[in-house]
Amino acid sequence: MRVFKNKAFSRFADGNKISDEDLCDTVQRASRGLIDANLGGGVIKQRIARKGGGKSGGFRSMILFRVGNRAVFVHGFAKKDLGNINPNELKALKKLARIMLGYSDAQIATVVALGTLFEVKCNGKTVS
């Protein structure tokens, strides 16, 4: 499974000291069926533990997700800052999921080369 993050999520992760390994662990949990909230249409909400704390008081991530294929972290937030996304945001995320989860390998290579997406390294390597 390949794992990616967009620019906005990358800034969020960097600012909150969320490592690529943390993201890999989050996707591995989801791949095992341990999904915190399946919002439908290829969108899931998954918790990420805060350093020195637990998942319940940590961060939330919105991930475009297709088991065994691709995960794209697109939005992150602290639970204290935002409880849930609104229906219009969910609709937009589902539309984005249809597009991005449908990308071919060539299209993915293009958006990575353009810097729109960054591939997450798991155990120091990109996962193919």
Q: Give the tens place of pLDDT for each residue, 31-79.
A: 999 999 999 999 999 999 877 655 556 799 999 999 989 999 999 988 7
User: CB within 8 A of 123, min separation 6: which ones?
Assistant: 21, 24
Enumerate the H helices of the chain as residue ranges: 7-15, 20-31, 87-100, 105-113
> CB–CB of 62/100 below 8 Å?
no
Q: What does the block give as tokens for 17?
A: 């000291």
Instruction: Name residue, tokens 């937009």.
Output: 92
Q: What percent of the chain has pLDDT over 90?
A: 75
128 pLDDT band (50/70/90 cuts)? very low
Q: What does the block give as tokens for 96?
A: 């984005």
* Bridge partners of residue 38, in order along the sequence: 44
User: What letter does residue 29 receive in the DSSP assignment?
Assistant: H
Instruction: Name residue, tokens 């490592």.
Output: 19
pLDDT at 84: 73
Least confident of 66-75, 79-88, 109-118: 79-88
125 pLDDT band (50/70/90 cuts)? low
pLDDT at 13: 95
pLDDT at 58: 79
